[in-house]
Amino acid sequence: MFWNVYARSYDNLAKHFRPYQDLVQEVCDHVDEYADGRSLRILDAGCGTGNYSLELARRGHTVVGVDNSESMLERARKKSSGVENVAFIEHNLTQPLPFGDGEFDAAVSTMVLYALPDPGSALEELRRTTREGGELTLVTSAATSTVWVSLKGIMRTGDFTSSLKTIVALVPVGILNLLIDLSHAKGTYAVSTTEQLRTHLAATRWCVLDEMSAYVEDTALLVIAEAV
Ligand SMILES: C[S@@+](CC[C@H](N)C(=O)[O-])C[C@H]1O[C@@H](n2cnc3c(N)ncnc32)[C@H](O)[C@@H]1O
């Protein structure tokens, strides 16, 4: 329900929020670095409105995006009309993935893991469906206060008029992110620290190759891991 409501304004991030646009490029650049010129089969777990899936498809990869929000998927499908190397499937990541072992060369999952009640089992499924030696690029929120720092970031990077326009366009997104921040602060989410994430990855045969801060004011953690 929450994500179906969020779907109505989610793409305002892609249209108006520079850190979101930069993160899409950063994640896809990491995937391309791993691909080294090959065209990969990639799973985008919790694909939302398909921004990462579509960028990866644009770069020549074949992508399957899964998400359990009908409204997010509806938008993703609309945006991908005519694009042949991307497909969107409704799937709840609390359930086993509807794919065979090692079917994918790589997986991406951005800003999803924290929202899952059992991130370990989702990572286990991502591992099962990624071939050995395949790569996972994962981004998850690492801060309990993203809205306030985003506001400060917007004010700092633009002139007054452009900052105001961006803030107005992002009001609905900001309100929904406040709810996410509150849940983080209350400890509702199963993954909200780097240590928790590392523990889940190690337990599910993902070997962390690199780890870096990302997104607006370093409020997220970007991890590259290899399927071992
Ligand atoms: C913050 S959005 C991120 C979307 C996309 N990865 C991006 O970064 O643009 C979180 C997404 O996770 C999806 N999600 C949350 N819980 C899920 C679950 N149990 N199964 C599948 N998708 C889920 C939501 O529907 C939503 O599209």
Of 56, 69, 136, the one to substitute when testing ligand 1's pocket (max ligand atoms within 8 A of C-beta) is 69
8's tokens: 């109505």
Q: Which atom of ligand 1 is nearest to the CA of 44?
A: 6
Which among 117-131, 151-165, 166-180 has the top mean pLDDT? 117-131
24's tokens: 């899409």
pLDDT at 135 over 80: yes
Q: Is 46 in the pocket of ligand 1 (CB under 6 A)?
A: yes
Long-range contacts of 52-55 (CB under 8 A, 24+ apart): 52/24, 52/27, 52/28, 52/108, 52/110, 53/80, 53/86, 53/88, 54/79, 54/80, 54/83, 54/86, 55/24, 55/25, 55/28
CA 180 and chain centroid, separation: 15
Which pTM value belongs to this model? 0.92
pLDDT tens string 52-68: 999 999 999 999 999 99
Task: Report pLDDT for 186.
Answer: 75
Which band of pLDDT confidence, cut at 50, 70 and 90, is reported for residue 154?
A: confident
Q: Is 65 in the pocket of ligand 1 (CB under 6 A)?
A: no
Specify the pairing of strand 130-141 against strand 220-227: antiparallel
Q: Which atom of ligand 1 is nearest to the CA of 3?
A: 25
Q: Is 69 in the pocket of ligand 1 (CB under 6 A)?
A: yes
Map residue 223 onto helix, strand or coil.
Answer: strand
Task: Report pLDDT for 25.
Answer: 98
pLDDT tens string 91-100: 999 999 999 9
Q: How far apart are CA 31 and CA 25, in angstroms?
A: 10
pLDDT at 49 over 80: yes
Percentage of the chain surpassing pLDDT 70? 97
Q: Is 92 in the pocket of ligand 1 (CB under 6 A)?
A: yes
Q: Is 110 in the pocket of ligand 1 (CB under 6 A)?
A: yes
Lowest mean pLDDT among 26-40, 112-126, 145-159, 214-228: 145-159
Q: Is 123 in the pocket of ligand 1 (CB under 6 A)?
A: no
Which among 35-44, 113-122, 158-167, 210-219 has the top mean pLDDT? 35-44
